Amino acid sequence: MRQYRLPVLILFAFFAAAAVYGCFNLKFSFDFQQFFPRGDEDLAFFLEFIEEFEGDDNFLLVALEREPSIFDSSFLAQAHDFALATRELPEVESMQSLTTFGYPVKTPFAITTIPAIHRDDPSYYASDSARIMQDERFVGNLINKRGTALVIALKTPSLIGLEESRSLMAGLENLVQQYDFPDHHYLGPAYFQKELVEMQVREVAVSAIVSGLLVAFIMFLLFRRPLGIAVALTSIGLGLLLFMGLLGLLGRELNAIAALYPVLMIIVGTSDVIHIMSKYIDELRAGRDKESAIKIAIKEIGLATLLTSLTTAVGFATLLTSRIDPIRNFGINAALGVMVAYVTVILFTTSLLSFLSVDQIVKLGRQQAFWDRLLESGYQFTRRRPGAIKIGAAVVAVLCAVGISMITTNYRIESTLPRDRKITEDFLFFERELSGFRPFELAVTARDTNRITDFAVMQEIGAIEDYVKEFPFVQSTASISAVYRSINQMFNNNRPEAYELPDDPATYRRYQRMADRVPALNLNVLMSKDRTKARITSRMDDLGADSIKVFLQRTDTWINENIDTSLIDIRSTGTGLIIDKNAEYIRRNLLQGLGLAVLIVCGLMALLFRSWRMLVVSLVPNILPLLLAGAMLGYLGIELEAGVSIVFAIIFGIAVDDTIHFLAKYRLLRGRGVGVTEAIHKTYREAGKAIVLTSVVLFFGFLVMLFSIHPPSVTIGLLISLTLASAVVSDLLLIPLLLKWLDRD
């Protein structure tokens, strides 16, 4: 060992230098398309759909507020000037605003327009306001119901990239600052992408700093010696550096749940460090020389730690069964990180430790007596109160079953937005005052030789559009019928109630000749060039995935009962529908992934212990924490969404570690001929301290996530902390009972 330690340290120094370079190449990303489920038939249909039409994510809305009304000459002049200036911003393809809109008017000589708002003549403001507030095309889209916010709607490219989003938002923010608007709000994919990536960077930095401070404090309490603390912190920090650098060198993108990586690496590394250092210290105290102590620590703890690292990595790797890319990527990256932490501890930490004596690493004193008393009390409780432990476990299992039955997958966008940030304030403003963010699309396909512009087909499209408008949470509905409704309104002096389809074929054909003169560029947004397909597009309130699913089912039923489906085929689509389908896949993948993890861990346990009895002992204490995590979701009303679904893989992968360390020590003692009762007692006292310590680190380590501004991260941290705390209690109470029952002398 001695001859290798210096080369190992030099090698890790080179790795660290490369990792620093890799960290400067880390990539962060966020877009809703990341959460599209792979291989889904609705996704395939949607991708074909947007090839013929524009996507439903190519917008950026700017709401300009003014109380008590926007109808003020100074405000309107500034808003109009601002709207015109936005057309010069990068990535802006077109702009819409009430200040630039004109109503068509038919005169004996030609069709002309009158402005929706006579900006320069306040005497018209009352009549302009009355007309606009009765026009469904504008209310919720370009003005709110109270008339206190004017919206500038910008058209941007679909699937806009991060750099383009940053450039657009920087230009827009600079432009807004040039005007004296009382308040303003943004909504759109470009805004979301830029803000949420900045949140990810902040989350990764904060979680790393807070976790590091926490671990430093814990190491101080444990070792009380500068060299011992330095070895532990250097090992843990190096593991994190190597992992993040490796992600940068491999070009792996960090997504919405990347804030978990520093916490995960720090606490997994801490767990490995505590186990290996505790064993090394115990061997030195037993009179062994440094060389022998290191060899025994690597042999006994190294094997158990390898198995715990493999089981943890397996727990993460099961996330590969998910159809959702961020979850799949998290599983791959986290599994890689666990193995990086293991290799760092086994090679780097042991090399450093081999230079140090026990007095240089730890200050022994009354704390050892405290641990001896605590663990002895725990062991005696398992001997005296086995009946109470069994009843308690049964009661917990029943309560967990009730809680699990209450789990909801009614995912809402609001629940994933950062707390106390402008992006969330803006999102809630549009939800409350305007048409919201969540898109809702119906794809219309004409059957046989029918065309979208046929009178009968247009009547069916209009009927569907009128039906969905009846729901108060569906707003800003539009379709190709808007062209004919607008023409009908024009022929009726632009009266608001005349915004409807003509009900006789002759009038419709007359309008059709005028509609044919509308530029094709404007019509292609709502109808395909060959006139065989169309779209009905809307925006919905953020009701939740399950609630929207009920609405879609109700809509499908109404269409089948009231629409002539021999003329047209109707199908729900859009980014909102695709993302909402994640709820179904999350439930399915959750069970598949956990089942796969249990099977793989069973295989590893079978190889290690070669006994079905040990298999039962290892699984039972780790099923309860999983049940508890599910029950907490139900009792606390937490929505099961993409980010939260990874909790179960983390819990199972990490919770089983303590069980492995306990059983590995027990098996070692049994192999030396020690009886069951005495082996349990010795294991409890010798392995129990490291198990409790690592569990304390895990508990407080994941509680670091409470500092997050990202609600799913807070939820993940709280769930994992509490369930891992329950896991150590489950291990220390149930394993002794199970061993006495199944493993007899």
- Is residue 640 predicted with pLDDT exceeding 90? no
Closest CA to 700 of 228, 263, 327: 263
Q: How confident is the model at residue 46 (pLDDT cuts 50, 70, 90)?
A: confident
Query: pLDDT averaged over the chain?
Result: 83
Q: Vertex 323, ends 414 and 649: CA angle to 5°?
A: 80
Q: How confident is the model at residue 184 (pLDDT cuts 50, 70, 90)?
A: very high
- Is residue 256 predicted with pLDDT exceeding 80? no
| Three-state secondary-structure class, residue 363 | coil
Q: How confident is the model at residue 365 (pLDDT cuts 50, 70, 90)?
A: low
- Is residue 5 predicted with pLDDT exceeding 90? no
Structure-block tokens of residue 142: 């370009």
Distance CA(157)–CA(57), nearest Å, equals: 8
**Segment 268-291, tens digit of pLDDT:** 888 888 888 888 888 887 788 888
- Is residue 525 predicted with pLDDT exceeding 90? no
Cβ pair 278, 690 in contact under 8 A: yes
Distance CA(629)–CA(476), nearest Å, equals: 40
| Over residues 527-544, mean pLDDT | 87
- Is residue 160 predicted with pLDDT exceeding 50? yes
Alpha carbon of residue 553 to chain centroid: 26
Residue 42 CB partners (closer than 8 Å, separation 6+): 573, 577, 578, 581
Cβ pair 494, 105 in contact under 8 A: yes
| Three-state secondary-structure class, residue 58 | coil
pLDDT of res. 521: 45
- Is residue 553 predicted with pLDDT exceeding 60? yes
| Over residues 636-660, mean pLDDT | 75
Structure-block tokens of residue 155: 């058209």
Fold of 58-187: Alpha-Beta Plaits (3.30.70)
Report residue 354: phi and psi, to 5°. -65, -15
- Is residue 432 predicted with pLDDT exceeding 80? yes
Cβ pair 538, 477 in contact under 8 A: yes
Report residue 572: phi and psi, to 5°. -75, 140
Distance CA(134)–CA(660), nearest Å, equals: 69
Closest CA to 169 of 296, 62, 256, 285: 62
DSSP 81-149: HHHHHHTTSTT--EEE-TTT-EEEEE-SS-EEEEESS-TT-GGGHHHHHHHHTT-TTTBTTTB-TTS-E
pLDDT of res. 373: 80
Distance CA(187)–CA(427), nearest Å, equals: 6
Closest CA to 280 of 174, 376, 351, 385: 351
| Over residues 442-465, mean pLDDT | 92
pLDDT of res. 85: 95
pLDDT of res. 368: 62
Q: How confident is the model at residue 68 (pLDDT cuts 50, 70, 90)?
A: very high
**Best-predicted range by mean pLDDT among 173-177, 602-606, 622-626, 706-710?**
173-177
Residue 656 CB partners (closer than 8 Å, separation 6+): 308, 311, 312, 315, 601, 618, 622
- Is residue 149 predicted with pLDDT exceeding 90? yes
- Of 170-174, 237-241, 703-707, the least confident: 703-707
Closest CA to 13 of 241, 310, 289, 182: 241
- Is residue 455 predicted with pLDDT exceeding 90? yes
Q: Vertex 256, ends 250 and 259: CA angle to 5°?
A: 75
CATH superfamily assigned to domain 2-33+194-405+582-742: Multidrug efflux transporter AcrB transmembrane domain (1.20.1640.10)
The fraction of the chain above a pLDDT of 70, given in percent, is 91
pLDDT of res. 643: 65
End-to-end CA distance of the chain: 38
Residues for the chain: how many in total?
745
| Over residues 692-701, mean pLDDT | 79
| Strands 438-446 and 183-187, bridge-based pairing | unpaired
The better pLDDT of the pair 644, 557 is held by 557
Distance CA(176)–CA(260), nearest Å, equals: 35
**Domain pair 2-33+194-405+582-742 / 58-187, same fold:** no
- Is residue 134 predicted with pLDDT exceeding 80? yes
| Over residues 319-336, mean pLDDT | 81
Q: Is the pTM of this model over 0.75?
A: yes
**Best-predicted range by mean pLDDT among 350-364, 550-564, 687-701?**
550-564
CA-CA-CA-CA torsion sign (213, 217, 222, 226): positive
Q: Vertex 111, ends 109 and 116: CA angle to 5°?
A: 135
Residue with tokens 């042991």: 350
| Three-state secondary-structure class, residue 315 | helix
| Over residues 123-140, mean pLDDT | 89
Torsion of CA 482, 485, 491, 492, to 10 degrees: -130
Q: At what angle do helices 260-285 and 290-317 cross, to 10 degrees?
A: 150
Domain ranges of the chain: 2-33+194-405+582-742, 58-187, 422-579
The better pLDDT of the pair 584, 400 is held by 400
- Is residue 372 predicted with pLDDT exceeding 80? no
Give 707's Cβ-side CA count (13 Å radius): 19
pLDDT of res. 56: 72
Residue 466 CB partners (closer than 8 Å, separation 6+): none
pLDDT of res. 395: 92
Distance CA(163)–CA(168), nearest Å, equals: 9
Count of CB atoms within 10 A of residue 108's CB?
4
DSSP state of 415: G
- Is residue 145 predicted with pLDDT exceeding 60? yes
pLDDT of res. 35: 65
- Is residue 522 predicted with pLDDT exceeding 60? no
